Structure 1
């Protein structure tokens, strides 16, 4: 049974967010699907969604929050990071091994155009 059904982050600019997430999550093999102002990325019954807040207020990033995506390989982590950086994201930790992560996992961190922190990790051995 999955741990989550879906995770949503807010954006103030759905087109800019779609460009960023299509590139970053495309590196992980995920394709976006538009539903009105929302964009869905699905795998194995789980969804990551980006869109404007339903209450009409401005979107803000979660201080201290991070959403981590599973990557099959180090190459996928690298593609996630480079795609995100090339499409409006900001590096918040370049690809590499993380000494504090379980099994010295390989990961990379990004801030999306709205300031949300996301990352991708693989546990692929060297």
Structure 2
């Protein structure tokens, strides 16, 4: 469904350290910085990227927005969150754990990146 997702960052290098750590826990390679100073993470199914806003304004998070990354297990989601906190992110929402909803049981872990964007590791339970 998606070709790419780009989030704004006030400090692309600090965000790269954060995303290299959390995406590395999910098995992805470090991001690649292009000639314009943007950072890209390439996968077979899409691209995740980080950029300073092109309008020159300060980057800010979208209130109500969350970007979810697939985790293969609760343990991987926990390692993902620990890597994020250790690399400039902040835990947010409830502690990692199982939540039940209309789509079944999900193991979720949430973080705010260095620019305040909310990200989540999600593992579908059972």
Q: Within the alignment, does 1:55 sit opposite 2:39 as a pair?
A: no
TM-score by length of 2: 0.90
TM-score normalized by the length of structure 1:
0.90
Task: Provide, for residues 5-64 of structure 1, a one-character-per-residue CA deviation record: whole Å limited to 9, x for no partner.
Answer: 000100010111011111111111112222131111122230110110122221111111
- Separation in 1 of the partners of 2:40 and 2:73? 23
The equivalent of 1:112 in structure 2 is 113
Q: Does structure 2 retain, via aligned residues, the 8 Å contact 1:72–1:124?
A: no
Question: Would you identify which runs of 4 or more consecutive aligned residues in structure 1 move more than 4 Å?
Answer: none
Shift, 1:99, TM fit: 2.2
Cα deviations across residues 78-126 of structure 1 (Å, max 9, x unaligned)?
121010010110101332111236221111000001100000101143x
* Equivalent in the alignment of 1:12: 10
Confirm or deny: 8 A CA contact 2:25 2:79 kept in the other structure: yes
RMSD: 1.4
Shift of 1:74: 1.7
The count of residues paired between Structure 1 and Structure 2 equals: 123
